[in-house]
Amino acid sequence: LAQLFRPLDMLGMVYREIRQGLIDMEAMFGLVDTPAEVVDKPGAAALAVAGGAVRLENVRFAYDPERPILNGIDIDVPAGRTLAVVGPSGAGKSTLARLLYRFYEVTGGRILIDGQDIREVSQASLRAAIGIVPQDTVLFNDTIGYNIGYGRDGASQAEIEEAARGAAIHDFIASLPEGYATRVGERGLKLSGGEKQRVAIARTLLKDPPVLILDEATSALDSRTEADIQETLARVSARRTTIVIAHRLSTVVDADEIVVLEAGQVAERGTHAALLRMGGLYAEMWNRQAAEREAAEALAAE
């Protein structure tokens, strides 16, 4: 009988992976309309993960054929490295992440993970390999323990607590009268933006994916919370291939490579220092944001 149930368990797992992925994606991108369904090739094999190297070759994409969004993007993120994607609003940053998750199919070029075209592998295995920390995490009306455990089917309480420690939210949870059994969500305890992000980080730690997509929050957390979260994220992304969709440049300074997208193309690429020296679009964005930060700080000090 156990043998009969094993495939059902597997199905349950696959379903969970996909559901979680979709929820994360919806949260990440505020998607309302469901895109045309991307289907597995018949007999698609599972992605064989080596280190999680991500490569985009001449990637083109358009939601609407009349209006191209990405016009030939080349990106190479070696296993374990961090790439930050920056650029003006509407440049296509989130679109890149959606394509990597195969939420949409590229219209030209290809995306490879460890040398395998993502169209050739099963979506379940692709999505199991990618963790997403969205801007705004969806919490279920359930306990905080359940909400963290959602990162991996069958996670034990000890594993959930370890993940919470890794995301630096364990002490907070332990201080609640009902601890991990505290109900959160619409009908429970309301978590702050920073706490919700930590729940997302803890879920990701449980899932332990080789590839990580971080969608940096646009909504400002206070600078102390932000610095704390940044430090936690740096630890989480240390051994993983990480792609950061960055809205504030202050968080991309340490990325191994920064790609500046503009009008669907890579306008500039390099390290923070190299891009500043270049004195182009990135330097301009950096100087503008630095001026804004100073103005905000001056205002706060008044």
Chain residues binding ligand ATP by CB under 6 A are 63-64, 69, 87, 89-95
Q: Rounded to the nearest whole angstrom, what is the least distance from the CB of residue 199 to ligand ATP in the complex?
A: 22
Query: Please, which residue, 89 or 175, has the CB nearer to ligand ATP?
Result: 89
Q: How far is the CB of 90 from ligand ATP (least distance, A)?
A: 4
Inter-residue contact 169 to 61 (CB < 8 Å): no
| Cα separation, 176 vs 174, whole angstroms | 5
- Residue closer to ligand ATP, measured from CB, 37 or 171: 37
The two tokens of residue 60 are: 């083109």
The answer to whether residues 167 and 26 touch, using CB atoms and an 8 Å cutoff, is no
Q: How far apart are CA 210 and CA 207, in angstroms?
A: 9
Nearer Cβ to ligand ATP (33/171): 33
* Least Cβ distance, residue 11 to ligand ATP (angstroms): 29
C-beta of 70: minimal distance to ligand ATP in Å? 8
- Residue 26 or 159 with smaller CB distance to ligand ATP: 26
85 vs 169, beta carbon nearer ligand ATP: 85
Q: How far is the CB of 300 from ligand ATP (least distance, A)?
A: 25
Q: Distance of CA 103 to CAs 94, 174, 201, 203, Å?
A: 11, 37, 22, 21
Residue 185 CB partners (closer than 8 Å, separation 6+): 139, 140, 141, 142, 147
Q: Which is nearer to ligand ATP, 95 or 241 (CB)?
A: 95
What span, in angstroms and rounded, lies between the C-alpha atoms of 102 and 222? Answer: 34
What is the smallest separation between the CB atom of 134 and ligand ATP, expressed in angstroms?
A: 12
